[in-house]
Amino acid sequence: MNKTIALLLATLALPAFAQDLPKVSIGMSGWTGFAPLSLAEKAGIFKKNGVDVTIKMIPQKDRHLAIASGDVQCAATTVETYINWNAAGVGITQVVQLDKSYGADGLAARNSIAKIADLKGKTVGVDAPGTSSYFGLGWILKKNGMSMKDIKITTLGPQAAAAAFNAGTDIDAAMTYEPYLSSVRENKTAGKIIATTLDYPMVMDTIGCTPKFIKENGKLVQAMVNSYFEALEMIKKEPAKSNEIMGSVVKQTGEAFAKSSAFLRWQDKEANKKFFAGEIQTFSKEAADLLLEMGIIKTIPNLNSLVDTSFIK
C-alpha cells in the first residue's frame, strides 16, 4: 500500500464528526486532580473522539475572567468556585466530576504549632480570596470555631506558599495542594502538616462550561466527558505510561506523579452518578453559606442552575 492511500484511509478512519466540531479551550491549573484532562489531550483521546481541545494553564483567581472574555469556554475547578463565579455574574455549569481530594490539599505549620487553635494571631500563606485554598483554609478554621479574622494572611499561590514555607520564611503556616504539598511532606525540618482533606473533606473538582456553549455544543460536551472517562481507563490499563505523560505537565517524573496522585481519587462514571444524585447539592449549600459568611459572595446564586447531569449516562 503506498503512502498516499494509507494516509487517505487513516483520514477516513477518523470519526465522521471530528472535523465538524468546534474547537474548545479549557482553563485549568497544574493540580494533580486535573491531570486526566492533560492525558486526554496529549495521548490523543480528545482527538479520537472528535474534540479539538486546547488546555490553557490559568491561575484559579483569573480563570473566571478568561471565561467572561471568551478566551476559554470551559474550566476545571473546585465545586465551591462555581458558586463564586456565578455569584459574580460569570455563568458556568458543571458537567462532570473529576476528582476528590484524599489528603492532597493540606495546611502545613511550624513545629511549634500543635493544633488549629494555635494559629490564632499567626501568619498563614494562602492563595487569594475566591480560590480553593482560601476557601479550604476558611473551612478548616470554621470547623474549629475560628475565622480568617483570627489569623494574619500573606497572599501566596499554592506553589509559592509551599516554597516559602520550605524556605523557612516568616510565614507560620501555608495552605497548599499537590504536587506542591509533597515537597512539604518530604521536608522534615520546616514543619509538619496539621490538617488535610482526610480530616476536612471539602475539595472536589469538576469541569464546567458556559450555559451558551453547552446549549450550542451538546455533542462536543458529551465527547469531552467521554474522553475524561477514557483517560481514566488508560490510567488503569497503562499506569506507567499515563503517569509519565501526566507528570511531564507539572515537571514531575512518572514515579513522583504517582505518589502525588495517591492522595486523591479520580471519579469514574458510577462515582459521578452518586455525586450528582445528592452529594454535590448538600456540599454546595454548606459551602455557599460559608462563602457568604466570609464575604466572598454578596448573594447566593441559584445552586440548582450550577449543574447539568445530562452528560453522565
How much is the pLDDT for 114?
94
Q: Which domains does the chain have, with CATH numbers?
A: 3-100+204-311 (3.40.190.10), 105-196 (3.40.190.10)
Query: Alpha-carbon distance 293 to 310, whole Å?
Result: 32
pLDDT in tens, 238-280: 999 999 999 999 999 999 999 999 999 999 999 999 999 999 9
- When pLDDT is cut at 50, 70 and 90, the band that residue 19 belongs to is low
Whole-number Cα distances in Å, 21 to 51, 212, 221, 224, 300: 7, 15, 10, 11, 35
How much is the pLDDT for 21?
55
How much is the pLDDT for 214?
97
pLDDT of 153 over the 70 cut: yes
How much is the pLDDT for 18?
42
70-85 average pLDDT score: 96
Q: What is the residue whose three cell numbers read 473522539? A: 49
pLDDT of 13 over the 70 cut: no
Kindly report the pTM of this predicted structure: 0.86
56-70 average pLDDT score: 94
pLDDT in tens, 93-141: 999 999 999 999 999 999 999 999 999 999 999 999 999 999 999 999 9
Whole-number Cα distances in Å, 255 to 37, 162, 246, 258: 19, 20, 11, 5
pLDDT in tens, 190-223: 999 999 999 999 999 999 999 999 999 999 999 9
Percent of the chain with pLDDT over 90: 88
Amino acid at 285: K
Q: Secondary structure of the chain in the HEC alphabet?
A: CCHHHHHHHHHHCCCCCCCCCCCEEEEECCCHHHHHHHHHHHCCHHHHCCCCEEEEECCHHHHHHHHHHCCCCEEEEEHHHHHHHHHCCCCCEEEEEEEEECCCEEEEECCCCCCHHHHCCCEEEECCCCCHHHHHHHHHHHHCCCCHHHCEEEECCHHHHHHHHHCCCCCCEEEEECCCHHHHHHCCCCCEEEEECCCCCCCEEEEEECHHHHHHCHHHHHHHHHHHHHHHHHHHHCHHHHHHHHHHHCCCCHHHHHHHHCCEEECCHHHHHHHHHHHHHHHHHHHHHHHHHHCCCCCCCCHHHHECHHHCC
43-47 average pLDDT score: 96
The mean of the pLDDT values for the chain is 92
pLDDT of 10 over the 80 cut: no
Percent of the chain with pLDDT over 70: 93
How much is the pLDDT for 300?
97
How much is the pLDDT for 188?
82
How much is the pLDDT for 313?
85
Give the least confident one: 10-24, 118-132, 291-305.
Answer: 10-24
How much is the pLDDT for 231?
98
pLDDT of 296 over the 90 cut: yes
Query: Alpha-carbon distance 150 to 147, whole Å?
Result: 6
